[in-house]
C-alpha cells in the first residue's frame, strides 16, 4: 500500500509531467473562458438593439449602433477563434499526456513485475496481472483523456458564471449559486460511496481475466475432459459477478445526474423569476437579464455531466489503486554487489550450508541440509517425486530463499552476489520448458542474443537438435508456436538444451532433461551432456538412473536429506535405495 489516496498517488507519479499538466490545464480553463463569452455577446447585442445610443458599448465610445454591431461581430470572430485554438491545444495536450502516462506506467509496472521474486508470482494469478497491465492502465488513459479536462472546465464554469452573476445582480447570484454547495457536497459523498463499488468491479474483472487465461492456456485439458460446459459455467459465474458489481455502481451512478438536474432547476427557476421581476421593475437591463438566463443554461449543462465525469474519475481511481499497488509492492529479493570474475566462478564449488527451507504453509522441505557440488564435476541428483530436487534448483537461482543457512559460491553467500552475475552464471534446462513463439533459431539464441547463426547451429548440434531441425520443412526458421507446442516434448527439450549450451555458463543444471525422450535419443543426449559438462560444474536431475550413471557422483535425496552419496557402482553395491531403484529400472528386480 502506498501513501495517501489514489489521486494523490497518481499525481505523485505524474510529477515529471507537471509542466504539461499545467499547460493543458491552462488551455482547458481558457477554452472554457472563451466558450462562456457568447451569452455575454448576446447580452451586448440585445443591449444594442434595445438601448441603441445609450447601450453599454455606447458608453465605451461607440455611439453609432451600426458601429456597435460591427464591433460585436469582430469580437465574436475573435472569441470563437480563441476558443477553437484553445480547444485544439487542450485536446492535443491531454490526449498525448494520457498516451505518455499510460505508456510509461505500463513499462514501469512491467519492469517492476519482472523484478519480483517467484513467491510474488506464486501468490498471484497471471490473468489478474495481465488485467492490471492492460485494462486498468487503459481506464486511467480514458480518464486523463477526457475526465481531467471535464473537471477543470466545470470548475471554471462555476467560477466564471458565479462572477458574472455577482456583477449583474448579487440577489440573483445568491439564488443561482444556492444549489452549488449542495451539489458539491452531494458529489463528494456520492463519489466516496462509488469508490468501493468500482474497486469491486476491477477486482471482479481481474478474477474473470485470470480464469479466462487459465482456460485458454489449458484448453487441451479442458477439451480432453470434456469440461467445456463446466468451464462455461465458471466463466458465467465470474462474468455475472462482474456484471453485478457494475450494476451496483450503475445504480448509484445513474441516480446522480437526475438529482443534480433537480437541484439546478431550483437555481434556474429562481434566476428566471427573480431576474424577470427585477427587469419588469426596471432595476435590471433587458440585456443583463438575457445574459443571466443564457448563463444559467451554461451552468446547467456541464453540471449534469459531472455525474459522468465522477464516474470516469472513480473508475480511474479504482484502477490506478491496483496499478500503483503493484508498483508499490516491495521487491523482496535483496541483492548484493559481489560479482566474481569468470575464472573464479568456474573454479569454485557450490555449497548448501546448513540450509533449511520450506514453502509457505507447508511442512519444511530441507532441515539443516549440507551438500557441496564440486566444481568441474557432474553431480547427479535422484530422489522420488516431491523430494525437493527442483526446489534445490530454485534455491540456487534464488527463485526461493532459505529460511536458514546459505547457498555459497566463490566462498560468498549468493545473497551477497549481484543477481545478474549469479543468474548469468547458471544455464538451466527447466523441468517445465518454456519456448517463445518465434523460430527455433531465435529460441536457441535466447541463451546468448549476440551469438551468430553458426554458433547457434553448433550449440544445436551439441544438443543433438540439429538432426530433427533439418527434417522440418522450414528448418531453423520453423515457428515453434506458443510455449513451443508445435514441437514434440523431446524436440522441445533438445531446443532447451541447445539454448543452455549456447549460454555457456559456469554452472549447468539439467532438471529432468531426458524425461521426454526415447532410449535412442537419451543415449544421444547423454553423449551431448558428457560433452558439455566436461570441465564444467554440472547438476543433472533425473528419474532415469541411466542418465546419471556416468556422473562423478550421485546424490540420493529423500525427505529433505542426502540418504546416499557416491559413484554409481558404489551405490549399487551399497544395496540401498539407489540399488533398489536401479534393479527396478534395469529389470533385474530381485
The residues binding ligand DCP (CB under 6 A) are: 122, 359, 362, 365, 383, 385-391, 431
Q: Which is nearer to ligand DCP, 100 or 384 (CB)?
A: 384
CB 549 within 8 A of CB 578: no
User: Cα 387 to the chain's mean position, in Å?
Assistant: 35
CB 28 within 8 A of CB 21: no
CA distances from 526 to 81, 149, 420, 519 (A): 79, 66, 30, 10
C-beta nearest to Mg ion: residue: 390
Min dist CB 392 to Mg ion, Å, is 9
413 forms bridges with which residues in the sheet? 408
Min dist CB 399 to Mg ion, Å, is 13
CB 509 within 8 A of CB 363: no
| Residue 304 interacting entry, from Mg ion, ligand DCP, none, C-beta within 5 to 8 Å by type | none
- As to burial, measured by CB atoms within 10 angstroms (0-12 exposed, 13-18 middle, 19+ buried), residue 410 is buried
| Residue 438 interacting entry, from Mg ion, ligand DCP, none, C-beta within 5 to 8 Å by type | none
Q: Which is nearer to Mg ion, 335 or 384 (CB)?
A: 384
Min dist CB 368 to Mg ion, Å, is 22
The total of other beta-carbon atoms located within 10 Å of residue 47's CB is: 23
- Pairwise CA distance, residues 28 & 121, whole Å: 42
Q: Which is nearer to ligand DCP, 296 or 391 (CB)?
A: 391
Q: Which of the 8 DSSP states describes residue 431?
A: S
| Residue 122 interacting entry, from ligand DCP, Mg ion, none, C-beta within 5 to 8 Å by type | ligand DCP
Name the region of 560 (left: φ>0; alpha: ψ -120 to 50; beta: rest): left
| Residue 387 interacting entry, from ligand DCP, Mg ion, none, C-beta within 5 to 8 Å by type | ligand DCP
Min dist CB 541 to Mg ion, Å, is 7
Q: Which is nearer to ligand DCP, 183 or 355 (CB)?
A: 355
Min dist CB 400 to ligand DCP, Å, is 8
> Beta-strand (E) ranges in 320-376?
350-357, 366-373
> Beta-strand (E) ranges in 328-403?
350-357, 366-373, 378-382
Min dist CB 230 to ligand DCP, Å, is 26
Binding-site ranges for Mg ion (CB under 5 A): 389-390, 431
Count H helices, E strands: the chain?
Answer: 25, 10
Q: Which is nearer to ligand DCP, 286 or 577 (CB)?
A: 577
Q: Which is nearer to Mg ion, 461 or 558 (CB)?
A: 558
| Residue 183 interacting entry, from Mg ion, ligand DCP, none, C-beta within 5 to 8 Å by type | none
Terminal CA-CA length for the chain: 62
Q: Which is nearer to ligand DCP, 235 or 577 (CB)?
A: 577
- Pairwise CA distance, residues 577 & 590, whole Å: 14
Min dist CB 404 to ligand DCP, Å, is 17
Q: Which is nearer to Mg ion, 384 or 390 (CB)?
A: 390
Give 3-state DSSP helix, strand, coil % of the chain, rounded to 5. 70, 10, 20
| Residue 267 interacting entry, from ligand DCP, Mg ion, none, C-beta within 5 to 8 Å by type | none
Q: Which of the 8 DSSP states describes residue 381?
A: E
Min dist CB 375 to ligand DCP, Å, is 24
- Output 192-198 pairs: Cβ under 8 A, ≥24 positions apart: 193/252, 194/249, 194/252, 194/253, 194/310, 194/311, 194/314, 195/314, 195/317, 195/318, 197/245, 197/248, 197/249, 197/252, 198/249, 198/314, 198/315, 198/317, 198/318
Q: Which is nearer to Mg ion, 217 or 390 (CB)?
A: 390
Q: Which is nearer to Mg ion, 222 or 562 (CB)?
A: 562
- Pairwise CA distance, residues 539 & 529, whole Å: 11
| Residue 391 interacting entry, from ligand DCP, Mg ion, none, C-beta within 5 to 8 Å by type | ligand DCP
| Residue 385 interacting entry, from ligand DCP, Mg ion, none, C-beta within 5 to 8 Å by type | ligand DCP
| Residue 156 interacting entry, from Mg ion, ligand DCP, none, C-beta within 5 to 8 Å by type | none
Q: Which is nearer to ligand DCP, 179 or 405 (CB)?
A: 405
| Residue 386 interacting entry, from Mg ion, ligand DCP, none, C-beta within 5 to 8 Å by type | ligand DCP
Min dist CB 121 to ligand DCP, Å, is 9
| Residue 575 interacting entry, from ligand DCP, Mg ion, none, C-beta within 5 to 8 Å by type | none
Sheet holding 561-566, edge to edge: 426-429, 507-511, 537-541, 378-382, 553-558, 561-566
Min dist CB 463 to Mg ion, Å, is 20
Q: Could you write out the DSSP letters of every residue in 100-127?
A: HHHHHHHHHHHHHHHTS-HHHHHTS-HH
Q: Which is nearer to Mg ion, 200 or 389 (CB)?
A: 389
Min dist CB 508 to ligand DCP, Å, is 17
Min dist CB 122 to ligand DCP, Å, is 5
The total of other beta-carbon atoms located within 10 Å of residue 480's CB is: 20
Amino acid at each position: 500500500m502506498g501513501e495517501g489516496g489514489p489521486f494523490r498517488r497518481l499525481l505523485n507519479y505524474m510529477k515529471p509531467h507537471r509542466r504539461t499538466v499545467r499547460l493543458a490545464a491552462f488551455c482547458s480553463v481558457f477554452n472554457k473562458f472563451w466558450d462562456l463569452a457568447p451569452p455575454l455577446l448576446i447580452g451586448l447585442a440585445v443591449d444594442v438593439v434595445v438601448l441603441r445610443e445609450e447601450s453599454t458599448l455606447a458608453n465605451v465610445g461607440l455611439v453609432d449602433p451600426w458601429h456597435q454591431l460591427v464591433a460585436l461581430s469582430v469580437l465574436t470572430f475573435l472569441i470563437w477563434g480563441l476558443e477553437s485554438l484553445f480547444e485544439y491545444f487542450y485536446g492535443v495536450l491531454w490526449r498525448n499526456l494520457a498516451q505518455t502516462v499510460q505508456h510509461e506506467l505500463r513499462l514501469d509496472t512491467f519492469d517492476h513485475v519482472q523484478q519480483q521474486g517467484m513467491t510474488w508470482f506464486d501468490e498471484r494469478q497471471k490473468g489478474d496481472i495481465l488485467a492490471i497491465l492492460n485494462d486498468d492502465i487503459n481506464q486511467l488513459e480514458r480518464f486523463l483523456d477526457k475526465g481531467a479536462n471535464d473537471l477543470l472546465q466545470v470548475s471554471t464554469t462555476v467560477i466564471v458564471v458565479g462572477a458574472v452573476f455577482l456583477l449583474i445582480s448579487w440577489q440573483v447570484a445568491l439564488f443561482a449559486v444556492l444549489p452549488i454547495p449542495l451539489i458539491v457536497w452531494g458529489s463528494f459523498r456520492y463519489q466516496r460511496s462509488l469508490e468501493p463499488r468500482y474497486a469491486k468491479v476491477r477486482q471482479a474483472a481481474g478474477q474473470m481475466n485470470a480464469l479466462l487465461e487459465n482456460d485458454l492456456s489449458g484448453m487441451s485439458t479442458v477439451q480432453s475432459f470434456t469440461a467445456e460446459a463446466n468451464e462455461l459455467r465458471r466463466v458465467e459465474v465470474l462474468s455475472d459477478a462482474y456484471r453485478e458489481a457494475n450494476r451496483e455502481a450503475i445504480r448509484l451512478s445513474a441516480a446522480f445526474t437526475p438529482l443534480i438536474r433537480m437541484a439546478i432547476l431550483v437555481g434556474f427557476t429562481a434566476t428566471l423569476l427573480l431576474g424577470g421581476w427585477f427587469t419588469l421593475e426596471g432595476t435590471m437591463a433587458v440585456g443583463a437579464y438575457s445574459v443571466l438566463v443564457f448563463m444559467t443554461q451554461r451552468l446547467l449543462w456541464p453540471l449534469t455531466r459531472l455525474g459522468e465525469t465522477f464516474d470516469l474519475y472513480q473508475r480511474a481511481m479504482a484502477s490506478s489503486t491496483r496499478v500503483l499497488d503493484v508498483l508499490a509492492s516491495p521487491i523482496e529479493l535483496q541483492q548484493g554487489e559481489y560479482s566474481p570474475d569468470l575464472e573464479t566462478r568456474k573454479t569454485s564449488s557450490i555449497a548448501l550450508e546448513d540450509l533449511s527451507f520450506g514453502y509457505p504453509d507447508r511442512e519444511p522441505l530441507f532441515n539443516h541440509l549440507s551438500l557441496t557440488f564440486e566444481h568441474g564435476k557432474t553431480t547427479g541428483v535422484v530422489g522420488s517425486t516431491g523430494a525437493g530436487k527442483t526446489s534445490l534448483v530454485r534455491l540456487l537461482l534464488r527463485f526461493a530463499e532459505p529460511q536458514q543457512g546459505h547457498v555459497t559460491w566463490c566462498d560468498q553467500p549468493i545473497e551477497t552476489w549481484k543477481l545478474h552475475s549469479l543468474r548469468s552464471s547458471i544455464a538451466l534446462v527447466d523441468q517445465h520448458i518454456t519456448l517463445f513463439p518465434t523460430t527455433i533459431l531465435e529460441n536457441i539464441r535466447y541463451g546468448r542474443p549476440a551469438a551468430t547463426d553458426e554458433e547457434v547451429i553448433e550449440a544445436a548440434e551439441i544438443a543433438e537438435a540439429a538432426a530433427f531441425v533439418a527434417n522440418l520443412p522450414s528448418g531453423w526458421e520453423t515457428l515453434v508456436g506458443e510455449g513451443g507446442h508445435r514441437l514434440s516434448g523431446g524436440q522441445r527439450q533438445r531446443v532447451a538444451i541447445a539454448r543452455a549450451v549456447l549460454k555457456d555458463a559456469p554452472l549447468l543444471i539439467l532438471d529432468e532433461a531426458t524425461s521426454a525422450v526415447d532410449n535412442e535419443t537419451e543415449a544421444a543426449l547423454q553423449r551431448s551432456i558428457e560433452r558439455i559438462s566436461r570441465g564444467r560444474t554440472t547438476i543433472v536431475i533425473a528419474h532415469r538412473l541411466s542418465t546419471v550413471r556416468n556422473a562423478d557422483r550421485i546424490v540420493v535425496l529423500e525427505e529433505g536429506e542426502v540418504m546416499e552419496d557416491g559413484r554409481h557402482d558404489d551405490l549399487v553395491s551399497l544395496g540401498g535405495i539407489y540399488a533398489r531403484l536401479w534393479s527396478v529400472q534395469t529389470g533385474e528386480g530381485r
